[in-house]
Structure 1
Amino acid sequence: MTMKNVVPLCLLAVAAGLWSCSGTQQTSAPKGKVSIIPMPASISEKADSFLLDKQTVIVATNESDKKTAALFNAWLKELTGYELSIADKGDKNAIILHTGNDTTNAEGYTLTVDHNGVTINGNSSSGTFYGVQSLIQLLPVEKARAMFIPGVSITDAPRFAYRGLHLDVSRHFFSVDFVKKYIDLLAMHKMNTFHWHLTDDQGWRIEIKKYPRLQEVSSKRKETMAGRYADNKYDGKPYGGYYTQQQVKEVVQYAADHFVTVIPEIEMPGHALAALAAFPNLGCTGGPYEVGTHWGVYDDVFCAGNDSVFLFLQNVLDEVIPLFPSKYIHIGGDECPKVRWEKCPKCQARMKQEGLKDEHALQSYFIQRMEKYLNSKGKQIIGWDEILEGGLAPNATVMSWRGIEGGITAAQQKHDVIMTPGEFCYFDHYQSKGPNEPLAIGGFLPVNKVYSYEPVPTELNSDEAKYIKGAQANLWSEYINNNDYMEYMVYPRASALSEVLWSPKDKRNYDNFIDRLKVHVKRLELKKVNYAKHVFEVTGKVTDNGKGGEQVVLDSKLDGGKIFFTTDSTAPTPQATPYTQPVQVSQSGTIRAQVFLDGKPFGNEFSQTFLYHKGIGKKVTLATAADKSHSPASTLTLVNGIEGNAAYNDNEWFGFKGGNMEAIVELDSIQDIHQVGINTINVKGDWIYPPKQVVFSVSEDGKTYKEVYKQTAFAQEGINKVRGKLQQVRGRFVKVQMQNFGKIPAGAAGAGNPAWLFADEFIIE
């Protein structure tokens, strides 16, 4: 700081608890801890600092920067109780915002802090805004009347142009105030796109003045599914809600003030049941229809052979387009069953008239026809990766959600791509294996896995990679029915994704991210965000102990935390065994561990039950790799002594979409085998079907196998444990073959799609 007002500043600092005055005037505070998320492209800390106080001014000369300054003041007031004056000029005790006109790297900025003040140079208004977001994260998280900002020099710009979060308001409706908070947090993490999923089978959420029945009928449902899909239970309570066009304008303007683009999604040709309930003539059968009350995919879709459908959608889009300045309109295109089209005379006539070979080509016709209309209005379309089927619309951008394959194909065809694979980007998946975790749709996606994501597939060459414009996380709200739960599912996973999308690939380091997150979550607390705290709980990882067996490595990122564990299934306490080295697995039983802070337990405990058997830790060969979205890191997961849970959210299950499963375990020697087994799942609502049959075979040489057990009935919902008792069987190689159910039958969730086959824990006794 300068020598201005030395005595008052010293007294102020004493009052704020920043330093003590003892006759020697200090000119800087100790260097503070910089914990910006996402990590800037380049940052260097200085042995210097700036003291922000009530006399500090913000210099902003254009209206956009003044709005950004006001957003900074709103944050500062929470910490200090006051706002800074915004002036047109000043160079001492000032935060200077300067905006240039660099359109080639518009979101870039530089930020310098020294004892004289703060200077932010944005390449454009958005760059200045992101510089201010970094400045906010340089502020202390503790409340005070004055505060030191650590000296830094930052040069920063994003790695990807598209950095997004999605929100499904159709399954469950969220208020305008919550949507604004969602956008505010999104912008705080330097994300720039809000994908607003406004229509679906379970509700139409945007006012269309030409069609008031969309508000009167389509925005409401008579009841809502309660619990998991497989439970088939309903709450009996009417549910509804929609946004008026004025509210939409309000949200879009709020987003623009935070340099966030809002992309609306109007689903077509599938996920249309809510609209059909109001206008049954737009369906293939003519109805009657009702707004969806359960989750999953419905057979009833817009009739592709009916010109009234296209007129309706064009009229809807004519009202949607003026509300959203975005160059993109998302038109869905996903999960569109063809069973109605196959039997619909109008659709079949359309196929004949247009020379379309099948219903996939008919969907392509539908999408391309709507794309031409939107292009004529100056808009471009984004669609889920199913729009690749039957031929991709000429100017379409593909959002790849069913793994990365759709994104690879689209990029190779020179189409822009937004990556959003379920394995890394579906935040409706479980994020903890803890017993108290609220209901989720399935899967397992902890923070560290989100952070590990690399959006550019290795299969693309450097020219093709340029078409990967970025990525986004998706929040589908089937089971997320309130604000707190939504925040719990989003953060801190969105914090991790923000760094994946903004920071240079070589700058990313998970341990360093966690260190910064320890400070960052205090900012989330200031924002009253109900974030999940799993990342600081005790975790356990099963690894090979190098001696033909397994061990459990425990860890916690909680500063000051101490881990205690038990191996006899009793609850761990500070009087239990302190963790100092990996815990060896040598028998069936349960290992439980807990991290304690100041003698009190923090978060969920780690608990893992092991079923000890001959196959544990042995070599496993899979004939066909599991689907990437349900594929544990190692085939040893199949013989690690851990039986996957019924929610399949523990990364233990191997999933095969439409394909069979075959695995061989090689034991150390030829030996007696008394029992063989494997677990599978039957959750038809989630498209997971039991196998048609399971066959076990045994061999002494790995070449000639003899069938020893076969099972063809799997009636139980949930986990089916296949067990075969054997007599006088010896061998070294044990094979299991599981036959996939095949295509999902008509009338069931996902009808016409290939069924999933799940398998875990190949047991050999």
Structure 2
Amino acid sequence: MIRAFLLVFVLLSNLFFSQNKLNLIPYPQKVNINDGFFTIPEVIVLNDKLPKNETDYFKNKVNSGLKFQNTNKSDAHLVYFQLPKSSNSAQNNEFYSLEITPKQISIKSYTPQGYFLALQTLIQIIDQYKGTKKIPTMKIEDQPKFAWRGMHLDVCRHFFTVDEVKQYIDYLAMYKLNTFHWHLTDDQGWRIEIKKYPKLTQIGSKRKESMIGAYVDNTFDGKPYGPYFYTQDQIKDVVKYAQDRHITVVPEIEMPGHALAALAAYPELACTKGPFETATKWGVFDDVFCPKEETFKFLENVLNEVIALFPSQYIHIGGDECPKTRWKECAHCQELIKKNNLKDEHGLQSYFIQKIEKYVNSKGRKIIGWDEILEGGLAPNAAVMSWTGIKGGVEAAKSGHFAVMTPGSYCYFDHYQGDPATEPNAFGGFTPLDKVYSYNPIPEELNAEQAKYILGVQANLWTEYILDFKQVQYMIFPRLMALSEVGWGTSDPKNYKEFEGRVINQFKVLDKMGVNYAKSIYNVMGKVVPGNNGVAYELSTSQNPNGIRYTLDGTDPTANSQAYQNPIPVSKSMIIKSAYFENGQLKSAISSQQFTTSKTTGKNITLEQQPSENYSFGGAFTLIDGIIGNQKQLGKTWLGFQGKDVVATIDLGQKTQFSEIDFNTLENKGSWIHLAKSAQVFVSDDNKSFKMIKEIGKEEIQKAKGKIQLNVGNQNSKYIKIKIENAGIIPAGNPGADSKAWLFVDEIGAK
């Protein structure tokens, strides 16, 4: 009897949810579901005053065998009322109301753009209820929180056709994003036709080969790539396609760095004579645009053609990762610094950006750039795209400049979204769906007035490791859905599981579209947590957790393996393999995690300086969680510090004997990652007075290739302090010269 009651309760609860929670992404600001239903007819009668472009889009996207008919009568099934503008009202162009009664669906908005957004909501509602053909009556009032809701696509490292770019724009439209950031030029390819400079595409749109596999392998495919570029007619076609979907296309023309493809075509624009070639490796290169009149004239002519093609308010001019090596060695640059009373080469970068901004402003447009354009002082009217963390956005907003928040730790979709062992090769990092969903674009450091300068949020897709469009789909879905709701302003990390359920419902739509989305959320996810005697491994899944099975002996789990109930204690070295099963069938990838425990595993640890926001993952605990990082995958097992030393103190809890200290660092100079310069180990019994017991220098670290095992003699101490020295300023002759080096460190062990 009790079981029967519980079953009825669950069924009623599910019915209540289906009637009171819609499967919409992004979820609207205000939803009221009423009694009664609108029955979807065989033929939907449309009022003939509906905006044509948007209505045609709606008819094409409602894939449910529906037929449509127009009428000028007031009893049409779908009607639209354009709200009157008022001179003393600040109505949002993207506001809409959507009301469904038993007889009619009515949409109200101030603009066709609002009407279009209402139709996107209606498309999802129809898809949810087309099986029963009965839509609950309701009223939705909705508008986004942020004006800039963007997605970026790099077509330089790997190229995508016009049709594929249009598909990408369609994905943005589906989930109410309104900005497409098109990254068109870089070291590895120039992808936009400039009629005044034909060699940009004749030479700069191709490269002799491409890097493949992990960066540290330094392997190339030996295959010519290109020529690949978009003609100006194709650009116009894409811009019009986006406009029809109320999406603004923001072009990016990189300067003063990331310019090798342009310099290969026009070497006279560099500080040295060259010759240059379009880059075949990924990373950052010393050869950049030289700030001379010839260069500025070239860039002004390029921008003339770009501005004619793109009606966007903002033109993205890059500004990131510009090494100053060539400028330091260039007589013209040094004379320019003296002539204009600039402080240094960073001041010269500001001079460069401000000169370009003045020209763009003269054409009635504004510039936006990556947060390195803050170097030496921000141009007067520039907006900042904050990617290295939130600091750039905070600095811009506090000084009265607009900013778009796109920090790598939350918004870089070239990062892994699941267990790297079961995912395709990616750039690195770890940005799963729940992390994207947890992001708040308004930094806590800003007050209400300063927060008004945060235009919105954007995610970026860099394509070094994305070879085709199927992989583009895989990397953006389902994370684009989380970004959508963050940008709309209705995300709530406390209700992530409810959002995840809506995502899984959206997978049915993607299946019908043939989209190759990532199924990582179906996989079992592991998280290391403190344990009673070391650490514990906590497993979770988007499905019924009762379906998780695991093994501790290295064998693959089966439906009969140990059922997961509580975090698994890890007090010794082992391999934990896990998977999700349903009705005895394997439904996920098999996840595998190797633990290598030591006397530091799970102990208390503190850091004197915190890692970079983009590479902080589990914080200091990551260094004593029993997991040794993969030297080829910059995933969640590494902490990254730019320009900072690692000083970690580990409390062993009691005096403990040990004779060896281990840790690993990385080297990937193309990404500005350098091995540690030195390391020292100290011991103490009171956490106050420390004695150094071991020191090694750069040569020993290089000889060990970053895999450090230090014999420290017989020790018996309660505290271990280890200082790992950052390489400091990157020396000349290396990518990123004169910039702060990155230091990556993983597990610190004691044996």
Provide the TM-score with structure 2 as the length reference: 0.93
The CA deviation at 1:648 is 4.5
Q: Distance in 2 between matches of 1:716 and 1:152?
A: 66
The residue type equivalent to 1:225 in the other structure is M
Residue 527 in structure 1 maps to residue 513 in structure 2? yes
Residue 57 in structure 1 maps to residue 41 in structure 2? no
Q: Which residue of 1 aligns with 2:393?
A: 407
Residue 550 in structure 1 maps to residue 535 in structure 2? yes
Q: Deviations over 1:16-37 (max 9, x none)?
A: xxxxxxxxxxxxx984862100
> Which among 280, 295, 299 is matched to residue 293 of structure 1?
280
The residue type equivalent to 2:82 in the other structure is T
Taking the TM superposition and a 5 Å limit, the aligned residue runs for 1:129-140 are 129-140=116-127
**Structure 1 residues 508 and 395, CA, compared in 2 at 3 Å: closer, same or farther?**
farther
Residue 158 in structure 1 maps to residue 152 in structure 2? no
**Structure 1 residues 573 and 47, CA, compared in 2 at 3 Å: closer, same or farther?**
farther
Q: Which residue of 1 aligns with 2:9?
A: none
Structure 1 range deviating more: 253-262 or 751-760: 751-760
Taking the TM superposition and a 5 Å limit, the aligned residue runs for 1:26-425 are 31=19, 34-62=22-50, 65-76=51-62, 78-80=63-65, 82-92=66-76, 94-102=77-85, 104-140=91-127, 147-240=133-226, 241-304=228-291, 306-425=292-411
Work out whether residues 403 and 455 of structure 2, in 8 Å CA contact, stay in contact via their aligned partners in 1. yes
Q: Distance in 2 between matches of 1:411 and 1:328?
A: 17
Q: Deviations over 1:682-729 (max 9, x none)?
A: 222322211122221222222222333333345669973322334432
The residue type equivalent to 1:711 in the other structure is I
Q: Which residue of 2 aligns with 1:9?
A: none
Q: Which residue of 2 aligns with 1:12?
A: none
Work out whether residues 159 and 503 of structure 1, in 8 Å CA contact, stay in contact via their aligned partners in 2. yes
The CA deviation at 1:148 is 2.7
Residue 621 in structure 1 maps to residue 609 in structure 2? no
Work out whether residues 533 and 571 of structure 2, in 8 Å CA contact, stay in contact via their aligned partners in 1. no
Q: Deviations over 1:523-580 (max 9, x none)?
A: 12222211101012111222224x3542222211125971111112111100111122
Find the residue that maps to 2:581 and give its secondary structure: strand
Q: Distance in 1 between matches of 2:457 and 2:320?
A: 18
Work out whether residues 711 and 722 of structure 1, in 8 Å CA contact, stay in contact via their aligned partners in 2. no
Work out whether residues 331 and 382 of structure 1, in 8 Å CA contact, stay in contact via their aligned partners in 2. yes
The CA deviation at 1:158 is 0.3
Q: Distance in 2 between matches of 1:614 and 1:649?
A: 25
Find the residue that maps to 1:395 and give its secondary structure: coil
Q: Deviations over 1:217-270 (max 9, x none)?
A: 111212211223322222222212111111111101110111100011111111
Residue 583 in structure 1 maps to residue 571 in structure 2? no
Work out whether residues 385 and 393 of structure 2, in 8 Å CA contact, stay in contact via their aligned partners in 1. yes
Q: Which residue of 2 aligns with 1:17?
A: none
Q: Deviations over 1:317-375 (max 9, x none)?
A: 11111211111111111111111111222222222322222111111111111111111
The CA deviation at 1:312 is 1.1
The residue type equivalent to 1:85 in the other structure is Q
Find the residue that maps to 2:164 and give its secondary structure: helix
TM-align CA RMSD:
2.1
Q: Distance in 2 between matches of 1:714 and 1:471?
A: 44
Taking the TM superposition and a 5 Å limit, the aligned residue runs for 1:657-668 are 657-668=642-653
Q: Which runs of 5+ in 2 are unaligned?
A: 1-16
Find the residue that maps to 2:196 and give its secondary structure: coil
Q: Which residue of 2 aligns with 1:16?
A: none
Work out whether residues 499 and 508 of structure 1, in 8 Å CA contact, stay in contact via their aligned partners in 2. no
Find the residue that maps to 1:310 and give its secondary structure: helix
Q: Distance in 1 between matches of 2:253 and 2:224?
A: 23
Q: Deviations over 1:36-77 (max 9, x none)?
A: 001111112233322223222122515xx222111111122x
Q: Distance in 2 between matches of 1:189 and 1:714?
A: 53
Residue 469 in structure 1 maps to residue 455 in structure 2? yes
Q: Deviations over 1:282-340 (max 9, x none)?
A: 11113221111111111111110x21111111111111112111111111111111111
Aligned-pair identity in percent equals 47
Q: Distance in 1 between matches of 2:345 and 2:41?
A: 67
Q: Which residue of 2 aligns with 1:437?
A: 423
Residue 722 in structure 1 maps to residue 708 in structure 2? yes
Work out whether residues 66 and 86 of structure 1, in 8 Å CA contact, stay in contact via their aligned partners in 2. no
> Which among 474, 481, 492 is matched to residue 495 of structure 1?
481
Q: Distance in 2 between matches of 1:616 and 1:691?
A: 23
> Which among 539, 547, 558 is matched to residue 573 of structure 1?
558
The residue type equivalent to 1:384 in the other structure is W
Q: Which runs of 5+ in 1 are unaligned?
A: 1-28
Task: Give the number of equivalent residue pairs.
Answer: 729
Find the residue that maps to 1:406 and give its secondary structure: helix
The CA deviation at 1:441 is 1.3
Provide the TM-score with structure 1 as the length reference: 0.92
Q: Distance in 1 between matches of 2:632 and 2:106?
A: 51
**Structure 1 residues 597 and 99, CA, compared in 2 at 3 Å: closer, same or farther?**
farther
Find the residue that maps to 1:79 and give its secondary structure: coil
Q: Which residue of 2 aligns with 1:748?
A: 734
**Structure 1 residues 562 and 170, CA, compared in 2 at 3 Å: closer, same or farther?**
same
The residue type equivalent to 2:190 in the other structure is W
Q: Which residue of 2 aligns with 1:693?
A: 678
**Structure 1 residues 728 and 200, CA, compared in 2 at 3 Å: closer, same or farther?**
closer
Work out whether residues 422 and 629 of structure 1, in 8 Å CA contact, stay in contact via their aligned partners in 2. yes
Q: Deviations over 1:178-212 (max 9, x none)?
A: 11110011011110000011111111111111111
Structure 1 range deviating more: 352-361 or 168-177: 352-361
Find the residue that maps to 1:104 and give its secondary structure: coil
Taking the TM superposition and a 5 Å limit, the aligned residue runs for 1:557-706 are 557-558=542-543, 562-706=547-691
Q: Distance in 2 between matches of 1:282 and 1:403?
A: 32
